[in-house]
Amino acid sequence: MCNIIIIHFISLVLIIVSIIQDKARPVFPFTAIVGQEEMKLALILNVIDPKIGGVMIMGDRGTGKSTTIRAIADLLPQIEIIEDDLFNSHPYDYELMSDSIKNKVENGEQLSTTFINVPMVDLPLGATEDRVCGTIDIEKALTEGIKTFEPGLLAKANRGILYVDEVNLLDDHLVDVLLDAAASGWNTVEREGISIRHPARFVLVGSGNPEEGELRPQLLDRFGMHAEIRTVKEPSLRVKIVEQRSKFDTNPYMCLKEFQEQQDELKNCIIEAQKRLSNVTIDYDLRVKISEVCGTLDVDGLRGDIVTNRAAKAFAAYNNKDQVDISDIKTVITLCLRHRLRKDPLETIDSGNKVRQVVDSILTE
């Protein structure tokens, strides 16, 4: 008993220290990132419409993948949740409530709310399925003799961003679990007589280096978008990137102050796009052309069609438009289809040339 209390105390101290460090540690501003427009656009579109299905970012080492992903999370406005809820339940949207909160709302209970930063959860490569999905709270089982649920990373990431670095090195079974939860928006856990179902609506972001291996085509297809990034070759841009990073490392708060206006402008643009998204429409003729492109490229299934439609709407909303046009589709379609052309696991992912050739022949002004 004494050992359990000591372990619990140490864990609590580590959590508090981690929270303090996270609050104290400044994040590199998103608008200060030079280049990598493809990756930045994919991330912005996914936070505007999480139903796009996440983004897979593949590129060389040291190209700012992790920095950019953490920067987009820091840019987003705070979200309102039910206070002390384990699953970041939304106070008004039934689809984003856990079952226990739904029951309380239906019973007319008054629930207090609070605002938190958008959750940004890192999934380590060595994580087990129990750590990801949740499991039995062993401590309570031993000390109180009751079975209770201990939430996993999917619960913590609800209504936020779940980031998996080196996703191509993650066990395929865990990748499947993540993609299933991201697609359905729910996580169901059956453990030792306990059955728990909770919302798991998050933007799944994976990154990796293609030299270390690709994901299987069946798993890769489940990501909504695929962004490729390459090391910047132009000397002047490389110097600018180094200067920005040095400036931030020397005085991060001064750097944040310098980019505060641009950060606020982009944040407001994202908020307005989220509000406008439901009113954006896409003509039937354009939807037919999207499907014609997918058919010509021999894309398996209909995910490519669905994701391209959603991404085009998100991009139109981002550009303050209520109607999708051909230029919106051309901007996003390569990101949505490039990774769906691979049939053989030994093949490499198309750089986008094949998609662009077909698009240019079908999508004419």
Q: In this structure, are 217 and 328 located in the same domain?
A: no
What is the number of structural domains in the chain?
Answer: 2
Q: Does residue 355 sit within a domain?
A: yes
Residues 214 and 287 in one domain: no
Predicted pLDDT at 343: 58
Q: How many CB atoms lie within 10 A of CB 91?
A: 17
Our CA dihedral for 341, 345, 349, 353, rounded to 10 degrees, sits at -40
Looking at the structure, tell me whether residues 143 and 200 fall in a common domain.
Answer: yes
Q: Are 286 and 324 in contact (CB under 8 A)?
A: yes
| Domain assignment present for 20 | no
Whether residues 315 and 168 share a domain: the answer is no
Is 265 domain-assigned? no
Query: Which residues pair with residue 121 across a beta bridge?
Result: 162
Nearest C-alpha neighbor of 182 from the set 216, 215, 205 = 205
- The tens digit of pLDDT for each residue in 237-251 reads 888 888 888 888 888
Are 296 and 154 members of one domain? no
Domain assignment of residue 142, yes or no: yes
Same domain, 209 and 352: no
Q: Domain range holding 292?
A: 276-362
Query: What percent of the chain clears pLDDT 90, i.e. is strictly above it?
Result: 18
Q: Which residues contact 143 (CB under 8 A, 6 or more apart)?
A: 1, 4
Asked whether residue 156 falls in the same domain as residue 46, the answer is yes
353: domain CATH number is 1.10.8.80
* One domain for residues 70 and 181: yes
Of 174, 200, 232, the one marking the end of a domain is: 232
pTM for the full predicted model: 0.81
- Dist CA 262 CA 258 (whole Å): 9
In-domain check, residue 96 = no
In a domain, 93, yes or no: no
Domain membership flag for residue 338: yes
Domain ends where: 217, 232, 247? 232
Q: Are residues 67 and 214 in the same domain?
A: yes
What's the pLDDT tens digit per position in 132-168?
888 776 666 566 656 677 788 888 888 888 888 888 7
**Residue 152 located in a structural domain:** yes
Pair 70, 163 in one domain:
yes
- Say if residue 62 is in the same domain as residue 195: yes
Assign residue 204 the CATH number of its domain: 3.40.50.300
Per-residue pLDDT band for 350 (boundaries 50, 70, 90) equals low
Contacts of 122 (CB under 8 A, 6+ apart): 163, 165
SS3 readout for the chain: CHHHHHHHHHHHHHHHHHHHHHHHCCCCCHHHCCCCHHHHHHHHHHHHCHHHCCEEEEECCCCCHHHHHHHHHHHCCCEEEECCCCCCCCCCCHHHCCHHHHHHHHCCCCCCEEEECCCEEECCCCCCHHHHHEEECHHHHHHCCCCCEEECHHHHCCCEEEEEECHHHCCHHHHHHHHHHHHHCEEEEEECCEEEEEECCEEEEEEECHHHCCCCHHHHCCCCEEEEECCCCCHHHHHHHHHHHHHHHHCHHHHHHHCHHHHHHHHHHHHHHHHHHHHCECCHHHHHHHHHHHHHCCCCCCHHHHHHHHHHHHHHHHCCCCECCHHHHHHHHHHHHHHHCCCCCCCCCCCCHHHHHHHHHHCCC
Residues annotated catalytic, as ranges = 303
Q: What is the pLDDT of residues 285-343, one digit of tens each?
A: 999 999 999 999 888 888 889 999 999 999 999 999 999 999 999 999 999 998 888 65
Domain boundary among 176, 204, 232: 232
Residues 53 and 201 in one domain: yes
